[in-house]
Amino acid sequence: MKKLTQIPVFVLLLIATFYVPAVLIVSGQGMTPTPQPLPHWTYEGAEGPTNWGNLDSRFAVCATGRAQSPINLSKAQMVPLTDIKFDYKASKLNIFNNGHTIQVNYDAGSSITYNEIPYNLVQFHFHHPSEHSIDGQTFALELHLVHSSASGDLAVVAVMIRQGDKDNPDYAGIFNNLPSTQGTPTPTTLTIDASRLLPASKVYDTYTGSLTTPPCSEGVRWLVLTTPIELSQKQIDAFSHLFEDNARPVQPINNRDLLADQSPAKP
């Protein structure tokens, strides 16, 4: 897996917030670094996913990469995978609309451990509809919990969300407070516990992929929980009213290994 090494945590946070640090242009006169703004990108039209790789050289891997995300999870190799060890604690609900999704920046102190490597939970956000599919089936929403290791590697836990018959109280603090306009992270008086956003079963599929937004950086460890959780249609509609479609289409798996947990259940 390609490593994103020696990247400060705050930069990783910006990357996971769908931003890539500006390239510094050195002028011939005073050698003064000048930030070059990133191009605007969207989920449709000329600036949509099929054209991301052409918008800027920093986005080139969106088109040329061979290990892109999301993918359709199908025909995975069944193996006994190691448990994901979740150590999530409560956080202030630092919620905001970043223009591409609703994101919650998570307070320090929560993490997962995967293959004996700890990854700190940095933020989580949502996509509508789901970006990954399972045997061709898509879901109403997909939750991405973004983690960073001390060396700068990224691991994303994905949760599939389908329509249920009633409001999900564990998600109520989020979906009752969705910011309708783009802004910056703002702490609220509310708290959120990411452990309560997960399904009871922790069975998962895993593969090496990429960020699903520009710059589409590769080397991301994906851990996709295959048991969905449920939200009410009202909760789903609250998000889809803001983001009608903020999902990148599935990408070719190429020659990557896709592994599925052969365990019947993981508590």
Q: What is the DSSP string of the chain?
A: -----S--HHHHHHHHTT--PPPEEEPTTT--EEEPPPPP--SSGGGSGGGHHHH-GGGTHHHH-SS-S--EE-SPEEE-PPPPEEE--EEE-EEEE-SSSEEEEPPSS-EEEETTEEEEEEEEEEESS-SSEETTB--SEEEEEEEEETTS-EEEEEEEEEEESS--GGGHHHHTS--SS----B--S-EEEGGGGS-S---EEEEEEE-SSTT--EEEEEEEEEEEEEEEHHHHHHHHTT-S---PPP---TT---EEE-SS---
Task: For residue 262, name the pLDDT band (cuts at 50, 70, 90).
Answer: confident
Residue 267 lies in a domain: no
Domain membership flag for residue 1: no
Dist CA 70 CA 238 (whole Å): 24
The neighbouring-strand residues paired with 178 are none
pLDDT exceeds cutoff 90 at 131: yes
pLDDT tens for 108-127 read 999 999 999 999 999 999 99
pLDDT (tens digit, 9 = 90+) per residue, 199-221? 999 999 999 999 999 999 999 99
Greatest Cα pair distance in the chain? 65
Q: Specify if 38 maps to a domain.
A: yes
pLDDT of 259 strictly over 50: yes
Distance, in Å, from the CA atom of 256 to the CA atom of 161, rounded to the nearest integer, reads 25
Residue 206 backbone phi and psi in degrees, to 5: -145, 145
Give the model's pLDDT for residue 36.
82
Residue 30 has pLDDT above 60, yes or no: no
Tokens 């449920």 belong to residue: 230
Average per-residue pLDDT for the chain: 89
Q: In which band, very low, low, confident or very high, does the pLDDT at 4 lie, cut at 50, 70 and 90?
A: very low
In a domain, 266, yes or no: no
Give the residue with greater pLDDT, 21 vs 228: 228
The predicted pLDDT at position 27 comes to 34
In a domain, 39, yes or no: yes
Which range of residues forms the domain containing residue 57?
A: 9-261
Q: Give the mean model confidence (pLDDT) for residues 179-193.
A: 92
Q: With a threshold of 0.85, does the pTM exceed it?
A: yes
Q: Is the pLDDT of residue 31 over 90?
A: no
> For 147-166, what is each residue's pLDDT tens digit?
999 999 999 999 999 999 99
pLDDT of residue 117: 98
**Count of structural domains within the chain:** 1
Asked if the structure places residue 160 within a domain, the reply is yes
As a whole number of angstroms, the distance between CA 186 and CA 63 comes to 34
Q: What CATH number is given to the structural domain containing 184?
A: 3.10.200.10
- Look at residue 32 in the predicted model and tell me its pLDDT: 52
Q: Give residue 66's Cα distance to chain centre.
A: 19
